Amino acid sequence: MRGRDEDTGQFLSPSRSEQRRAALDVLALGERLAALTPTQLAKLPVPEALLPHIAETRRITAHVARKRQVAFLAKQMRREDDEVLDAIRDALDAGGEAARRETALMHRAEAWRERLLAEGDEALTEFLAARPASDRQRLRQLVRSTLEERARNKPPRAFRELFREVREALEAGE
């Protein structure tokens, strides 16, 4: 039993339901960590003691054995401080949001590049109106070079460079 404080009448420890919710939350976090690649995992503030357990969980593929290993990983994670687990959660959430923003930026840059190549000066004027700090002459030159590359069936050097320029202009505008 958890008992009550004699003076205030408040409970001294969390209820079993709260403990179970916290344990299931750590279990879900363990599953998320096991699903990450080693590169993604290296970017997170994961304690060194947990890395071998995460690697072992990733290695196991049999359903029941993996479930048991994830439970063991969660048990090891519950031994860590709450601040460590909160830091891992924050890094995972921030990484997911940052990746979505990066992908959206890349798609906008691709769309502008294709529009610049298809529509020419009208699209360039519209792009520069929204981003006046961009170099008009450089963009126009890259559009011309890209069209020339396509006509001559050359490697897409200017095509890639145009993408970089558009992306940098979009990043600067945000």
Helix (H/G/I), strand (E/B), else coil: 156: coil
List the chain domain ranges: 16-80, 100-173
pLDDT of residue 76: 96
Q: Which residue has the tokens 């593929």?
A: 61
Helix 63-78 with 51-59: angle, nearest 10 deg: 170
Phi, psi for 160 (deg, rounded to 5): -70, -40
Q: What is the pTM of this model?
A: 0.55
Domain 16-80: CATH class, spelled out: mainly alpha
Closest to 33 (Cα-Cα) out of 20, 22, 17, 44:
44
CATH topology agreement for domains 16-80 and 100-173 = yes
**Left, alpha or beta for 3 (phi > 0: left; psi -120 to 50: alpha)?**
left
Helices (H), 43-81: 51-59, 63-78
pLDDT of residue 90: 85
Closest to 45 (Cα-Cα) out of 100, 93, 77, 92:
92
pLDDT mean values, one per 10 residues, the chain (174 residues) = 73 86 95 91 91 95 95 95 90 75 90 93 92 91 94 93 93 79
Are 46 and 54 a contacting pair, CB within 8 Å? Answer: yes
Residues 6+ away with beta carbon under 8 Å from 53: 69, 72, 73, 76
Question: 31: which 2 tokens?
Answer: 């599953």
Closest to 60 (Cα-Cα) out of 74, 70, 45, 46:
70
pLDDT of residue 74: 96
Question: 47: which 2 tokens?
Answer: 């304690």
Of the options 1.20.1240.10, 3.40.640.10, 3.90.650.10, 1.10.60.30, the CATH number for the domain spanning 100-173:
1.10.60.30
pLDDT of residue 8: 82
